[in-house]
A and B are shown apart, each in its own frame.
Chain A
Amino acid sequence: MSAHATEHGTMNLKLIVWRQSAPDKAGRFETYEAKGITPHHSFLEMLDVVNEDLIKAGQDPIAFDHDCREGICGMCSAVVNGVPHGGHERTTLCQLHMRKFKDGDAIYIEPWRARAFPILRDLVVDRGSLDKLIQAAGYVSCHTGGVPDGNAILVGKPEADYAMDAAECIGCGACVAACPNGAAMLFAGAKVSQLAELPQGQVEAPQRVAAMVRAMADQGFGNCSNHYECEGACPKGIKVKFIARLNREFTKALFLEKIGAISTVKAASAD
C-alpha cells in the first residue's frame, strides 16, 4: 500500500510544541522528533505518528482539535511557525501536507492565542466566544415552517454569489488567532455581509450588526486596525471587503438610529 510513499524519501523533523496540561496551569515548549514522515502525510497525520510514539513511551500525547480532516468542519487549529494553519493559501491544517516541509526542518506548533480563546490543553482552545457572536444575532429570525416558496423572493446571481463567498467561513478562528489585536471582525463581517446581502436577511440587518458588534466587545475580542492578517491566514479565502461591509452596515445603522429612523434594540422575544 505504501509503495507510492516510498518513492519519495522520508524526513525527520524537529517539533517544538506548546504543552499545557490544563487551562489554569502554566505551559511550556517541549521538543519532539517526528521520524519517517513521507511527503504524503498530512500535518495532522504527522502529529498522529508522534503521538503514537509518545503513548508507547507512556507519555501524554499532544492534544489537538481535529475532526473532519477535509478542511470543512473548522475544528483543527494550530499555529505553525507563527501562522495559523501554517500559512498556505486556502489550506487548513488538516489539508496541509508534509511535502511543504523539508527534512530537518524545525517546526513551532502553538495553540490559537487570544484572550477570547482560552487554552484548554496543549493545542486545544475554547472557541465558544465565536458561537456567542452567532447567538447574539448571526441568524435570520425565521420560524420553522410558514415561510414562502424558495422562488417567491428572487435573489440575483451576483448577490447569491457574494453571500456564498462570505458564507464559506468555517468558523475555525484563524482570523482571530492571526489578528495582532485578537479581533473577530472577519468572522463577524462575513456573517453580517452574507445576511445583509440577501433579501431574507436585510430586514434585520441594523439590529444584527449592532448586536454582533456589542457581543464582540463582551466576549473580549479586540478592535480592527486594518492589518489584514486575518485575510492572509483565512483557510477559506474570506476577504476583508466583508469587514468593510461590516463597517458600512454599522455606520448606516448608527446614522439611521441617531436620526430616529430605526431602533437597533431588539425587543425580548415573547416566550
Chain B
Amino acid sequence: MILDGKAPTGKIQDSWDKHKIDSLKLVNPANKRKYKVLVVGTGLAGASAAASLGELGYQVEAFCYQDSPRRAHSIAAQGGINAAKAYPNDGDSVYRLFYDTIKGGDFRAREADVWRLAQVSNNIIDQCVAQGVPFARDYAGYLDNRSFGGAQVSRTFFARGQTGQQLLLGAYSALSRQIGAGTVKMFARTEMLDLVVVDGEAKGITVRDLVTGEVRSHVGDAVVLATGGYVNVFYLSTNAMGCSVSAIWKAHKKGAYLANPCYTQIHPTCIPQTGDYQSKLTLMSESLRNDGRIWVPKKKEDCGKAPSEIPEDDRDYYLERKYPSFGNLAPRDIASRAAKEQCDEGRGVGPGGRGVYLDFSASIARLGEGTIRERYGNLFEMYERITDENAYQRPMRIYPAPHYSMGGLWVDYNLQSNIPGLFVLGEANFSVHGANRLGASALMQGLADGYFVIPFTIANYLAQTKPGKVKADHPEMLKSIAEVKAERDRMLSINGKKTVTEFMREVGVLMWNNVGMARSEQSLNETLQKIPAIREEFWKNVKVTGSGDELNQQLENAGRTSDFIDFAELLSRDALHRQESCGGHFRVEHQYPDGEAKRDDANFAYSAAWEFKGTGKAPELHQEPLKFENVHLAVRSYK
C-alpha cells in the first residue's frame, strides 16, 4: 500500500500556518473539558504535551514508569538544543536549519514536517526562557550559542552540559503546575502494556501499576505516545535502563505501522566498554568535539603505548584527514563509522582495541586549562569518575555506542498514526530526522511536538469525535486487561533456568554485532535465523521470580525483553530490505570506494512502514514515497 503523510502542498514557507487555518478544526473552550487525553511518557515530548493540553482545558492523564515525571531520559541530553534564531549573525535561517536537518538525515524525512520543526524551533527557546531555564548567557545578558556537529553555524543553545535536564525540568515544572491545578492526573511508576483500539480508533491503554502490580485500563478520547526510543535493543546503549520499545511495540501489535526501524544512531563520543558485566554505556556530549581532536596511532604496534609516547607524526587525525571542511565536527554517523574503521584495522586503543583518542592537549595549549575546564569540567569529571583517568593530562578514550532511534511509529503530518486517535511524539515517532539525527535536534523535536504541534493537531481529531464514546467496561477494555494478565502469568509460570538479563544480553549482543554500525545481507540473515530460537527459548526457559501482585522488577524487565526480541526481528528485516546505505543505516554492500554510504534514491526514496501480521510472521511493507521539492537531492558530503 502507498501511504499518504497528508503533508500540506504549496509553498513550504507557509505550509504550517496555512495548514493550521485551512485544515485543522478547533475544539470550543467549553467543550475541551469533556475530552480525556491519555499521554504516555513524560520526557520532553510527553511532559510538554500533557502540560499544554491540560492548560488548554482537556482532562489529561499522564503516565510514566519512573517514580517521577522528572526522570525521563530526555534528562540525560547534554549538549544543547538547536534553533534558527540566527542571533550570532552567521547566516542562519529557518531554511538553513531545515536544509541541514534534511541533509543530515540523508534525505529520508518528509520535507513539510522538517520545515515546521525548524519554524517552531525559535518559539521553543522563548518558551523555555520564560519557564526559567537557565540557558548560558554572555556578559551583556544575551543568550549564548555554540556550534555542533553537522552544521556550519552556531545555533545551539545550552545550559552548561545539562541542557536536556534543564529543558525537561522546565517542561516538568509546567506539567507540575497543571497537576497542581488538577487538569493533569499523574500516574508515576505505571507502565503501559497495551493499546486498546475500539472500532479502529485508539480509545485507551492498559497499564500495570509497578508498585501494587494492579493491571487496569484507562479510557480516553485520544492516546498520545511519547515513549522514547528503542536502542536498548542492542543491550548496551546510552539509554536509561528502563527505556524500552514496549509501548510502541504494543501499539504496533494493535495495528500501528512501525516505520524505518533500521535507522538507529550510534553516538561517536561514548566511554568505551570495559567488561561483560557492564550494564550501560555513558555518553559524553558531542560538544567535546568542538575542542577535542580525534586520533589513533598510525602504526598498530603503537596502540599499546601510552599516548604521550606517540609522537605527533605517528598520530592519524583521521577525521581531519578525511573530512577537511568539517573535520572533528563531521555528523555522528560518519564520525562513528570512521572510528569503527580505525579499530577494525587494528589501530584502536584501550581494552579490546575498541577505542580512539579524543585529545584536548592542543586546545589546552591554545585556550588554557581554565577555559577547557569551564566548558567541559563536568564531562571531564564524569570521565574520571568512570575511568579513573585524568583527561586534562591524557587524551580521553571514546567509542561509538547506540544512542538514538530515528525510526518509530509512522505518523502523518498531524503526528497521528495510521490508527485514528493515536498520536506519537518525540523519539517514539519516525518523523523528522530521516536516517540520521543531527546533534541538539532531539530536544528540539520533543518540545516542538509537545508544545507547538500536538495542541493544534489533536484538536482536529477530537473535534470530529464524540467525547466519552467508550466506557471502562467496554469488552475491548476487559479483553485487553485479560490479555495483559495472561502474558504476565505465563512469564511467571515458566520458572526456567536463564535470567531475563541473560536473554537481553544475548539478543543485544547479536544485534550489536550483526545489525549495529555496519550491516550485511549475511549478518542480517543470520540474525533473522537466530531470533526465533531466542524467542522460543525465552518462552520455555526464562526465570522470573516473585509474583505479579507486587513491585517486581524482574517481571517488568521480562516484558520489555520479550518485546525487544520480537522487535529485533522487525529491525533486522527492515535493515535487510533497505538495500542501500543512508545515515545511520550502513549496508556494507552499498558504499563508495572510499567507504562513504551509498544511497539509492531511485529505489529507496521512501519511508518503510511495517504492519504487524503476527509474532514470527513476515510483516507487510507499506511505502510512503518521499518527495523533495525544496532541497536538491544530493550525495551527502562533509568533505
Assess A/B contact in the complex (Cβ within 8 A).
Answer: yes
Residues of chain A at the chain B interface (Cβ within 8 Å) = 1-5, 21-22, 38-42, 44-45, 48-49, 52, 54-56, 58-61, 63, 65-75, 90-91, 95, 97, 99, 120-121, 124, 126-128, 130-131, 134-145, 147-151, 153-157, 159-161, 163-164, 167-168, 170-171, 194-195, 198, 200-201, 269, 271
Output the least CB separation between B158 and chain A (Å). Answer: 10
Contact A72 B277 (CB under 8 A): no
Contact B129 A147 (CB under 8 A): yes
Contact A5 B274 (CB under 8 A): yes
Contact B130 A154 (CB under 8 A): no
Interface string of B156-172 (1 = CB under 8 A from A): 01011010011001001
Contact A68 B240 (CB under 8 A): yes
User: What CA separation (Å) do A121 and B67 show in the bound complex?
Assistant: 13
By the criterion of a CB under 8 Å from any partner CB, how many residues of chain B are at the interface? Answer: 91
User: What CA separation (Å) do A242 and B275 show in the bound complex?
Assistant: 41
Interface string of B112-136 (1 = CB under 8 A from A): 0000000000010111111111111
Contact A167 B166 (CB under 8 A): yes
11 A/B residue pairs, CB under 8 Å, sorted by A: A3-B352, A56-B543, A61-B553, A68-B75, A90-B381, A144-B55, A147-B127, A150-B128, A150-B157, A155-B134, A167-B169
Q: Check B532 for interface membership: any CB of A closer than 8 A.
A: no
Within 8 Å by CB of B499, from A39, A55, A73, lies A55
Q: Which residues does chain B contribute within 8 Å of A99, judged by CB atoms?
A: 388
Given known pairs A127-B68, A144-B127, A171-B68, the reply for A138 and B159 (CB within 8 Å) is no
Q: Which residues does chain A contribute within 8 Å of B388, judged by CB atoms?
A: 39, 97, 99
Chain A residue at smallest Cβ distance from B124: A150
Contact B76 A70 (CB under 8 A): yes
Q: Which residues does chain A contribute within 8 Å of B132, judged by CB atoms?
A: 139-140, 163, 194-195, 198, 200-201
Q: Which residues does chain B contribute within 8 Å of A3, judged by CB atoms?
A: 351-352
Q: Which residues does chain A contribute within 8 Å of B157, judged by CB atoms?
A: 150
Q: Which residues does chain B contribute within 8 Å of A5, judged by CB atoms?
A: 274-275, 351
Q: Which residues does chain A contribute within 8 Å of B502, judged by CB atoms?
A: 52
Contact B66 A75 (CB under 8 A): yes
Within 8 Å by CB of A91, from B162, B177, B186, B385, lies B385
User: What CA separation (Å) do A130 and B69 show in the bound complex?
Assistant: 11
Q: Check B70 for interface membership: any CB of A closer than 8 A.
A: yes
User: What CA separation (Å) do A91 and B382 show in the bound complex?
Assistant: 9
Output the least CB separation between B263 and chain A (Å). Answer: 23
Contact B71 A74 (CB under 8 A): yes
Contact B66 A150 (CB under 8 A): no
Q: Check B279 for interface membership: any CB of A closer than 8 A.
A: yes
Chain A residue at smallest Cβ distance from B127: A147
Output the least CB separation between A213 and chain B (Å). Answer: 15
Q: Which residues does chain B contribute within 8 Å of A142, judged by CB atoms?
A: 127, 130-131, 174
Q: Which residues does chain A contribute within 8 Å of B546, judged by CB atoms?
A: 60
Contact A154 B142 (CB under 8 A): yes
User: What CA separation (Å) do A74 and B240 show in the bound complex?
Assistant: 12
Given known pairs A63-B551, A127-B68, A168-B162, the reply for A70 and B280 (CB within 8 Å) is yes
Given known pairs A2-B274, A120-B211, the reply for A59 and B73 (CB within 8 Å) is no
Given A124-B551, A131-B186, 13 other A-B residues pairs in contact with their CB atoms under 8 A: A40-B274, A41-B277, A59-B545, A69-B240, A74-B70, A139-B174, A141-B177, A142-B130, A151-B142, A160-B137, A164-B166, A171-B70, A195-B132
Q: A-B pairs with the 10 shortest C-beta distances?
A: A154-B141, A4-B351, A139-B173, A147-B130, A135-B180, A163-B134, A164-B134, A2-B275, A160-B137, A150-B129
Output the least CB separation between A195 and chain B (Å). Answer: 5
Q: Which residues does chain A contribute within 8 Å of B140, judged by CB atoms?
A: 154
User: What CA separation (Å) do A195 and B492 show in the bound complex?
Assistant: 48
Q: Check B242 for interface membership: any CB of A closer than 8 A.
A: yes
Q: Which residues does chain B contribute within 8 Å of A63, judged by CB atoms?
A: 551, 553
Q: Check B278 for interface membership: any CB of A closer than 8 A.
A: yes
Contact B545 A55 (CB under 8 A): yes
Contact A69 B68 (CB under 8 A): no
User: What CA separation (Å) do A169 and B444 show in the bound complex?
Assistant: 23
User: What CA separation (Å) do A202 and B294 show in the bound complex?
Assistant: 45
Given known pairs A68-B75, A73-B76, the reply for A21 and B550 (CB within 8 Å) is yes
When A and B form their complex, what is the total count of cross-chain residue pairs whose Cβ atoms lie within 8 Å? 245
Q: Which residues does chain A contribute within 8 Å of B186, judged by CB atoms?
A: 131
Contact B71 A73 (CB under 8 A): yes
Chain B residue at smallest Cβ distance from A96: B385
Q: Which residues does chain B contribute within 8 Å of A201, judged by CB atoms?
A: 132
Q: Check B470 for interface membership: any CB of A closer than 8 A.
A: no
Q: Which residues does chain B contribute within 8 Å of A58, judged by CB atoms?
A: 545
Contact B73 A157 (CB under 8 A): no
Q: Check B85 for interface membership: any CB of A closer than 8 A.
A: yes
User: What CA separation (Å) do A200 and B173 show in the bound complex?
Assistant: 14
Contact B176 A134 (CB under 8 A): yes
User: What CA separation (Å) do A131 and B275 show in the bound complex?
Assistant: 37
Contact B129 A69 (CB under 8 A): no
Q: Which residues does chain A contribute within 8 Å of B545, judged by CB atoms?
A: 54-55, 58-61
Q: Which residues does chain A contribute within 8 Å of B553, judged by CB atoms?
A: 61, 63
Given known pairs A144-B52, A160-B134, the reply for A4 and B70 (CB within 8 Å) is no
User: What CA separation (Å) do A22 and B279 show in the bound complex?
Assistant: 27
Q: Give the one of A4, A66, A144, A159 with max B CB within 10 A.
A: A144
Contact B554 A55 (CB under 8 A): yes
Within 8 Å by CB of A95, from B48, B128, B169, B385, lies B385
User: What CA separation (Å) do A91 and B381 show in the bound complex?
Assistant: 10
Q: Check B501 for interface membership: any CB of A closer than 8 A.
A: yes
Q: Which residues does chain B contribute within 8 Å of A139, judged by CB atoms?
A: 131-132, 173-174, 176-177
Q: Check B179 for interface membership: any CB of A closer than 8 A.
A: yes
Output the least CB separation between A179 and chain B (Å). Answer: 19
Contact B71 A138 (CB under 8 A): no
Contact B127 A145 (CB under 8 A): yes
Within 8 Å by CB of B66, from A22, A67, A90, A269, lies A67
Q: Give the one of B211, B280, B455 with max A CB within 10 A.
A: B280
Contact A72 B162 (CB under 8 A): yes
Output the least CB separation between B224 and chain A (Å). Answer: 15
Output the least CB separation between B496 and chain A (Å). Answer: 11
